Amino acid sequence: MSAPMDAIVAGPDEDGIADALEAEGANVARITGLISRPTLEEAGVLEADLYVLTDIDQATTIPIVCDLTDDVRTVVYARRTIPEFIKGQLDLAVDPKLMDAAIVAEELTS
């Protein structure tokens, strides 16, 4: 059996993606408020397998995460459209209105 996935969920989580990831066996660190490089490092981004951003207003954290580590999958789980400059560094963008958190979490952890 493989080790559990380490995930970071950054931003408000009204749609429950963090709980859904935990239900799939992932270790989840949550970040709320302003997200900075030190905050990301404290949350364990260097060891993380997955970075899920739920706050489009903090989309600039995606390039920061990609700069810190090549080994993390970046996901936006939000209702608003992501800025164009982020799309090249993003592995997946999902609108919670279109796909339930449990389904997304199952796909991300399988």
| Nearest residue to 13 via CA among 51, 45, 55, 42 | 55
Q: What pTM value is reported for the model? A: 0.95
DSSP-derived secondary structure letter, 84 = G
- How many domains does the chain contain in total? 1
Distance CA 46, CA 63 (A): 14
Q: Tell me if 17 is assigned to some domain.
A: yes
- pLDDT per residue rounded down to tens, the chain (110 residues): 467 899 999 999 999 999 999 999 999 999 999 999 999 999 999 999 999 999 999 999 999 999 999 899 999 999 999 999 999 999 999 999 999 999 999 999 99
- Per-residue model confidence (pLDDT) at position 3: 75
Query: Considering Cα of 32, then 22, then 68, then 93, what sign does the dihedral take?
Result: negative
- Host domain of residue 26: 6-102
Q: Tell me if 108 is assigned to some domain.
A: no
What is the CATH classification number for the domain harbouring 10?
3.40.50.2300
